[in-house]
A and B are shown apart, each in its own frame.
Chain A
């Protein structure tokens, strides 16, 4: 079992749709959870950052972490064509030399 599982998609939705992206993980020591957005031929950009369980909202984006189920989600409301990108979940444990573990990434396409 991989440490982090993410449905590779791709995912295509119409403009204005609510998008739900998910990752599951097996390492219960993960404490920090992130979502990165990567446009084609660009580096990943940190979109959302959450410590431990709970929800975090930033504009149209909401990140949820459920540590009891080892499940994290990213919701995008009122999706826009500019949201078309690859979304990577990432997580890490506490401590020095703790590497970031990425999911495989899912490519989202928002149709006008």
Chain B
């Protein structure tokens, strides 16, 4: 099973709302990632968790808060977002956090901030 499951698929939120994006994988992978993708652009790395510890934070604003409750789950907590944060948010996982790892992506959450 090479599936990464993301919920919800679509989310519309106001600038004062708090919401969470969820990601789950059951491949036994020890690295999990959050990416942000704007239309017609490649994915941009936001966070990397390795063995449930945050290993990379790409200087993401604090209104995005990641959480890794266990090795299979990854959350992204959203608060006080701006309209320019509207994008496709992708979760991915890989066997390890090492060069050359194959990343498996979920289908993403399409986020619209009003």
Chain B window 34-53, contacts with chain A (Cβ cutoff 8 Å), 1 for yes, 0 for no: 00000011110100101000
- CB of B99 within 8 A of CB of A95, answer yes
- CB of B42 within 8 A of CB of A97, answer no
Q: Which residue from B48, B100, B103 sits with its C-beta under 8 Å from A46?
A: B103
- CB of A43 within 8 A of CB of B90, answer yes
- What residue of chain A has the Cβ atom nearest to residue B104's Cβ? A46
- CB of A93 within 8 A of CB of B104, answer no
Q: Mark B residues whose CB is within 8 Å of A.
A: 4, 6, 40-43, 45, 48, 50, 55-56, 88, 90, 92, 97-108, 110
Known: A8-B40, A51-B100. 19 other contacts (CB 8 A): A32-B99, A32-B100, A34-B102, A41-B88, A41-B110, A43-B90, A43-B92, A44-B90, A44-B103, A45-B105, A46-B104, A49-B102, A93-B99, A94-B98, A94-B99, A97-B48, A97-B55, A98-B98, A98-B99
